[in-house]
Structure formats: structure tokens, C-alpha cells
Amino acid sequence: MNQVPIIQPGEKAKNFSLKDHEDKTFGLYEHMGRRVLLSFHPLAWTPVCAAQMKSLEENRERFDQLNTDAVGLSVDSVPCKKAWAGTLGIAHTPLLCDFWPHGNVAAQYGLFREANGFSERANVIVDEHLNVVFVKVYPLHMVPDIIEVIGVIERLGKK
């Protein structure tokens, strides 16, 4: 399978609809008018991914003040993500399931690791007009710096 290049700032975000851990559908284009932080993580039930998703939940109010919806995405299934969210105490942050077709959204964004069967650890910020404004891929063992991400969103200005 040919690897799609990683999506870049300035490109239009690719639309998708995925179920979250509560079995609700999240459609990217339905969030036009708000910013969206797509926080890709490899797999549920791993310590670094847990820290990454907890950072989204802990900063939910700040994201809301910045007109931003933060979501986590991985290749895990709805039942898996539901159990994991309960264990982590995540009540407000949608944990999206890029389960089937397996890793399809990560692949559209050029972030699927074919050899591993999961996505890169990455943050993608989409603006109110569905344009990609920030992309950063992190080492798998590293928790993304949420303060850096919030800073990027703050610099976009309040809308």
C-alpha cells in the first residue's frame, strides 16, 4: 500500500466520520466554525497514550475557551475505548475509534504506520474553516507537550 504524505499546514482537512467511545458519531466537517485538535495516539491501554488523552481531558475548559474541540484518535474499537475512558476518568473528551476500515483516517492524514498497524503519535490542528494549521509528529515514547499545542491555538486568536 502506498503511504500518503503527511498532511501539511495550508492543506484542507480531510473529512471523516468516526464513532467515539460512547458510540456517538463525530464528523469533522460538522465542527466547521470551531477549531479541532486531532490528537492521534497509537493504542489504548498504554501509559504514554493514557497521559496524552488525560492531558486533553484536563485542559478541556481551556480548549473550550479557545473555541476548540479536542479529540483523541486511535485504531481501537468502541468497546475498548469505552472501557479505557472509564478507567482513565475521561468524561468529556471524545475518544474516536479509527477501527474499521482499520486506520483509515490516520492513513488519509499520512499518519498510519503500516508496519505496526497503528497511527503515529501526532497532533493536527484544524481551524474554523477546515484548514490544517499545525501538524506535529512525536516519538512514540513521548507525551506531546499540551502547553505547546495550547500556545499554537492561542496564537490563532480567539474567534
pTM for the whole structure? 0.96
Q: What pLDDT score does 112 carry? A: 97
Check pLDDT > 60 for residue 1: no
**Residue 10 domain-assigned?**
no
Residues 85-96 have pLDDT tens digits of: 999 999 999 999
Check pLDDT > 90 for residue 73: yes
Q: What pLDDT score does 4 carry? A: 86
**Residue 81 domain-assigned?**
yes
Where are the alpha helices (H) located in the chain, listed in sequence order? 47-58, 60-65, 78-88, 104-108, 146-155
**Residue 87 domain-assigned?**
yes
**Residue 8 domain-assigned?**
no
Q: What pLDDT score does 3 carry? A: 76
**Residue 3 domain-assigned?**
no
- Number of structural domains in the chain: 1
Show the domain range for 146: 17-155
**Residue 7 domain-assigned?**
no
**Residue 1 domain-assigned?**
no
Instruction: Write the CATH number for 63.
Output: 3.40.30.10
Check pLDDT > 80 for residue 159: no
**Residue 32 domain-assigned?**
yes
Residues 13-46 have pLDDT tens digits of: 999 999 999 999 999 999 999 999 999 999 999 9
